[in-house]
Amino acid sequence: AQSVTQLGSHVSVSEGALVLLRCNYSSSVPPYLFWYVQYPNQGLQLLLKYTTGATLVKGINGFEAEFKKSETSFHLTKPSAHMSDAAEYFCAVSGRNTGFQKLVFGTGTRLLVSP
């Protein structure tokens, strides 16, 4: 069964600083990998996903993530944080060998951006 670990329930950065949100997965076969963002009192919005091909994936709002099989990681980065990036971020996986089914989510990381 797949599982996801997000290191750090809260990450604080200054505006303009690098954003790094960590995600590690556990799966016998590299899964499909996703990052979602949730703004206050809203649903989840897909930031980016890795299914196949290039391991560096670019998403919306300047975010990107790199799939590293050797490290079983899919960390999310953004070179320069904006105040509007303050939200909760969820990493998620779905099985590949049995076909795409449900998403298994990490516990989330709340990103705080200070002026």
Pair type for strands 64-68 and 73-78? antiparallel
In this complex, which beta carbon is closest to other proteins, that of residue 48 or of residue 113?
Answer: 48
- C-beta of 23: minimal distance to other proteins in Å? 13
In this complex, which beta carbon is closest to other proteins, that of residue 81 or of residue 106?
Answer: 106
Q: Give the C-alpha separation, 115 to 96, whole Å.
A: 41
Pair type for strands 109-114 and 10-14? parallel
Q: Give the C-alpha separation, 38 to 112, whole Å.
A: 13
Q: Tell me which residues touch other proteins (CB under 8 A).
A: 32, 34, 36, 42-46, 49, 51-52, 90, 92, 94, 100-108
Helix, strand, coil share of the chain (percent; to 5): 10, 55, 40
Residues paired with residue 35 on neighbouring β-strands, in sequence order = 48, 91
- C-beta of 33: minimal distance to other proteins in Å? 10
- C-beta of 86: minimal distance to other proteins in Å? 18
- C-beta of 14: minimal distance to other proteins in Å? 26
In this complex, which beta carbon is closest to other proteins, that of residue 2 or of residue 113?
Answer: 2
